[in-house]
Amino acid sequence: MGRLLPHPLLTPILAIVWLLLTNSFDPGQIVMGLLLGWAIPLISIRFWPEKVYIYKPLTLLRYSFLLLFDIIMANFTVARLVLGNPDRIQPAFVVMPLDLTSDLAISLLANSITLTPGTLSAQLSLDRKYLLIHAFNETDTKALVAEIKNRYESPLKEIFEKC
Amino acid sequence: MLEIVILIALALVAAAVAMSFWRLLIGPSVPDRILALDTLYINTIAMLMLLGIHIGSALFFEAALLIALMGFIGTVALSKYLLRGDIIE
Amino acid sequence: MLDYLLSFLILTGAIFTFIGSLGLVRLKDFYTRLHGPTKATTLGVGCLLIASTVYFSTRDAGVSLHEILITLFLLITAPVSAHMLAKAALHIEIPSLAKIPENKVSEYKKTRSEVVKQAGRQEVNPSSTETVKPDV
């Protein structure tokens, strides 16, 4: 397993990307995709220093649907604020302490924060303990941090980190 | 009906392109201009997809994919340049 | 029926793309302007790409799913480029309507100059540089 298939998650993802790229589901293309999915991680293993394990796949699935729903809601929120009076918007910078430690979980959290309503991740401190968030229209910063921790950080911690 | 809707949508996206251009021209700071460029890439992808449906040709897909790739790399490279004064370290 | 679905998707996509660029023009400072394009355009272009998928899948015989690739790619890259732009803007101190936490910015600058100094002395070790803890 270890040497021959260094990154077991990357193989199916690369195979699916190949199938989408060629836009056909012929058996030949599936074999080609699996071959590429096997060969590319072997060559590029040095760029993936961190081992990735998904401890709870079901939580990951639920998290993806939550994220999708939130992205759609975020678009309506931002659209409403853009069409409203721009003088009434009160932006704020919020510093959020992080509980996550793995690189992948932190980057997924930062991506989720940017894609969801009214918040945008702006900077990660060099020791990876604090995330600077720009809130579009927020006065209650404590509640915002609590909501992000509840909604996004704790599922990500469950999925990617052993408790 | 679909024809009219596509024409309306094309007009809306063209207006979006014009507004991004406006920000690209006046943008008070350099990040503003980079952001305008990034928005232009995304607007162009939208326009290509609309044109693809309008003409009925699936050939625009490759162009849109390449614009998405190059746009992302361009934005990151320009931000990196602002951040470090250097792109490849 | 299919026409109505396609028209709805195309109109929604175009309107959101439009609103994203409208935000670029209307909003007052750089950091709020960053919100418009990254959010509104992802859904806007996403809707258009789904419309394109539906259109080409029903018009020709086979399914045509490759537009999903662009949607996924945009969903992954839009936050990354927004993050990089925000970081760059904080670094060159673009003025903001909101108060920027002072120690946050100076922390980055301090460690960066330290890293540069260390690189001059041929001993690059960014992970060991001490960082100033911001008060939360």
Whether residue C68 sits in one domain with residue C9: yes
Q: Determine which of C5, C21, C53, C94 to mutate to test the interface with B (most B C-beta atoms within 10 Å).
A: C21
Do C48 and C106 share a domain, yes or no? Answer: no
C124 has a pLDDT exceeding 50: no
Assess whether C71 and C8 both reside in one domain: yes
Which residues from chain C sit within 8 angstroms of residue B23, using beta carbons? 24-25, 33
The answer to whether C57 and C64 are in contact (CB under 8 A) is yes
Structure tokens at A122: 């702006």
**Do C106 and C85 have their domain in common?**
no
Shared domain check, C105 and C49: no
* pLDDT for position C108: 52
In B, which residues are within 8 Å of C115 by CB distance?
none
Which residues, at least 6 apart from A149, have a Cβ–Cβ distance to it below 8 Å?
A96, A99
- The distance of A146 to chain C (nearest Cα, Å) reads 13
Q: What is the pLDDT of residues C37-70, one digit of tens each?
A: 777 777 888 888 888 888 888 877 677 778 888 8
Q: What is the pLDDT of residues C87-119, one digit of tens each?
A: 888 887 777 776 766 655 545 554 555 555 545
**Domains contained in chain A, CATH given:** 10-47 (no CATH), 57-160 (3.30.70)
**C74–B68: do the CB atoms touch at under 8 Å?**
yes
pLDDT band at B17 (very low <50, low <70, confident <90, very high): very high
Do C48 and C114 lie in one domain? The reply is: no
Average pLDDT over residues B41-53: 89
Point out which residues pair with A123 in neighbouring strands: A132
Ramachandran assignment for A145, one of left (phi > 0), alpha (psi -120 to 50 degrees), beta (any other): alpha
C74, C89, C108, C105: which is closest to C31 by C-alpha? Answer: C89
Out of B31, B39, B76, whose CB is closest to C89?
A: B31
For A124, the enclosing helix (H) or strand (E) is: strand A119-124
> Are C131 and C74 found together in one domain?
no
Nearest CA in chain C to B66: C70
Contact C66, C106 (CB under 8 A): no
Lowest average pLDDT, out of A33-37, A88-92, C19-23, C106-110, goes to C106-110
Q: Which domain holds residue C67?
A: 2-96
Residues C46 and C75: their CA atoms lie apart, in Å, by 9
Overall average pLDDT of the B39-54 stretch: 89
3-state secondary structure at position A6? coil
Phi, psi of C28 (to 5 degrees): -90, -40
In a shared domain, residues C8 and C65: yes
**Least CB–CB distance from B32: residue in C22, C33, C59:** C33
Q: Is C101 on the interface with A (CB under 8 A)?
A: yes
Strand, coil or helix: C132: coil
CB contact under 8 A, C136 and A121: no
- pLDDT, residue C128, reads 41
Chains that contact C by 3+ CB pairs under 8 Å? A, B
Residues 1-40 of C with CB under 8 A from A: 16, 19, 22-23, 26-29, 31-32, 34-36, 38-40
The token pair that represents C90 in the structure block: 């904080």
Query: How sure is the predictor about B15, in pLDDT bands with cuts at 50, 70 and 90?
Result: very high
Using only C-alpha atoms, chain C has a radius of gyration, in whole angstroms, of 22
Asked if residue C118 and residue C71 are part of one domain, the reply reads no
**C13 and C40, same domain (yes or no):** yes
Residue range A19-77, pLDDT digits in tens:
888 877 788 888 888 888 888 888 887 777 667 777 777 888 888 888 888 888 878 88
CA distance C25 to chain B (A): 6
Residues 6+ apart with CB under 8 A from A73: A116, A117
- The secondary structure element, H or E, covering residue C103 is helix C102-120
CATH code for the domain in which residue C48 is found: 1.10.287
Residues C11, C69 share a domain = yes
Please tell me the total count of domains within chain C.
2
Could you tell me if C62 and C128 lie in one domain?
A: no
Name the amino acid, one letter, at C53: T
pLDDT single digits (tens) B19-44: 989 989 987 888 888 889 989 988 98
User: Residue A131: phi, psi to the nearest 5?
Assistant: -120, 130
Q: If you search the block for the tokens 């320009």, which residue do you land on? A: B78
